Chain A
Amino acid sequence: MRSFVPVLTVVTGIFAVWYLAAIWLNAPWAYDKATRSGEVLTLQTLIADTWSQDKPKLPAPHQVGIEIWETTVEKNITSKRSLIYHSWITLSATLLGFALGTGLGIALAIGIVYNRTMDMSVMPWVIASQTIPILALAPMIIVVLNAVGISGLLPKAMISMYLSFFPVVVGMVKGLRSPDAMQLDQMRTWNASPAQTFWRLRLPSSMPYLFTSLKVAMAASLVGAIVGELPTGAVAGLGARLLAGSYFGQTIQIWSALLMAAALAAALVSLVGLIQRITLKRMGMA
């Protein structure tokens, strides 16, 4: 509750700046229109116009708010115009990609920790994979997978996986190596097998690292799913809404899709954070 006032202050500040920026950016169009129709704009009519244009450069917050309201609450969720429907399409690819990325990341981390050859060779490739701009790579992944007959959810999930496995590998390698020499020696005195050491010591010890990585991976996964919807001319998903919006200059639609994506990211990351708190508390590690 103590954070309420500062948060409110910041939000108010953002809205103020947003409204002012809307006036500034949309004014030229308002002046153009006025000149063409021979009207004279007072400050009041100027502001009113800049906050209510059909295709503003920057829509005002309430315009975006109304758009979101109309496309979520007032639309049937199976409708192609429902933002919930599009969010669900993107969310399903995000979650699948996140699951695949987490699996791949953990598998690679185990390989790196347990296999000397992998330890020496894999990490540079993992890092190199992330230096390729995803915008360049995404169309190729989509096209190649389409060529072999895979389309729909999976290609998008692959791009999500591609972005989300990275933080998991990095975090889990550190996490699986976090038991100290004494704990490992202790296992040795009991003549524990590598599998026993893994399940009983290394894996539980890595949990704080895993959850930190999962938060980053979740956000990256959502970005991946949206980026995966851009190059295919997908008809559904938040990415498709962004793309369609930009084709037709529907800035209000773009902004509502953007805000929806941000809200989705916040919700997903908080969910991981909640699971993290509960798990680590139960494990006595928080």
Chain B
Amino acid sequence: MNASVISANRLDLTFQTNDGPVHALKDVSLDVAKGDFVSFIGPSGCGKTTFLRCMADLEHPTGGQITINGVRPEEARKARAYGYVFQAAGLYPWRTIGGNIRLPLEIMGYSKEDQAARVARVLELVELSGFEKKYPWQLSGGMQQRASIARALAFDADILLMDEPFGALDEIVRDHLNEQLLELWKRTEKTIAFVTHSIPEAVYLSTKIVVMSPRPGRITDVIDSPLPPDRPLDIRDTPEFLEVAHRVREGLRAGHLDD
């Protein structure tokens, strides 16, 4: 019955800290279908990262249920069901770009030929062909982040979890990477969960936008985007786009007024 790739049901997570409990997620329910591009948007501290980490089995909810591909996150992680892209590229300086992308493949025991073929394929996918033998320090921040996306795409995970992957980049690079990411999503048909705090980024990329608000972290609105899958950058000037952006902004403001 469960066609959802990501399914959270009344998820709760309270961190016990020295300053007392922090209610990071409260009553969070969400269903993400296969092939969706979901963005999580909200002010900092609203639990976006925590939610994503719950999906990845890096954090353990204190209440409610969450399944990934119909199974517990731990099983999904062990089945290598998702690729996770952190805010920092986190490439190893002692490995080349190719070596960095090969890292998860080595860990997962892919054959040497398969590794080489996959590295070449994902490098092409993120437009970094020719950089395989370069070291991370020889690449710009944007290229490093693309390499880290390639690394998450290299193995057969049909879910991509991305935590503000472009947060540290300037807007021009960011626009370009957004276009590329959208292209990549269409070509690979992956399900993508994407954390951001940029409204245009969320609206431009997503088929589904999840608006969250803090203290306690919760979902205040879920918007199914009416925009077509084909999105040139200038779609951002269309009335439909501005309409969705407006609704996201309203959702964010509503979350704030509760304070």
Contact = CB atoms under 8 A, between A and B. Distances in A.
Contacts of B84: 185-186, 189
B196 to A, nearest CB: 18
Interface in A163-198: 182-183, 185-193, 196
B82 A189 contact: yes
Nearest to A283: B94
Interface SS of chain A: helix
Contacts, number: 49
Nearest to A282: B94
Contacts of A201: 92
Interface of A: 182-183, 185-193, 196, 200-201, 204, 282-285
Contact of B107 (A185, A200, A204, A282): A200
B131 interface: no
Contacts of A190: 80, 103-104, 107-108
Nearest to B79: A191
5 contacts: A182-B88, A182-B90, A185-B58, A186-B86, A285-B94
B239 interface: no
Nearest to A285: B93
Nearest to A200: B103
Interface string B89-101: 0101110000000
Contacts of A188: 57-58, 77
Q: Which of B94, B135, B137: most chain A Cβ within 10 A?
A: B94
Contacts of B136: 284
Contact of A189 (B56, B88, B94, B106): B56
Contact of B93 (A186, A187, A200, A284): A284
B126 to A, nearest CB: 18
Q: Which of B77, B80, B92: most chain A Cβ within 10 A?
A: B92
A258 B58 CA distance: 57
B78 interface: yes
What 5 A-B pairs are tightest by C-beta distance, nearest first?
A284-B93, A283-B94, A189-B84, A190-B104, A192-B107
A186 B90 contact: yes
A283 B93 CA distance: 7
Nearest to A191: B78
Interface string B120-156: 0000000000000001110000000000000000000
B84 to A, nearest CB: 4
B201 to A, nearest CB: 22
Q: Which of B93, B136, B137: most chain A Cβ within 10 A?
A: B93
Contacts of A284: 93-94, 135-137
Given A189-B58, A191-B77, A284-B135, 4 more contacts: A182-B86, A188-B77, A191-B107, A200-B107
Contacts of B90: 182-183, 186
Contacts of A182: 86, 88, 90
Nearest to B58: A185
Interface in B51-91: 56-58, 77-78, 80, 82-84, 86, 88, 90
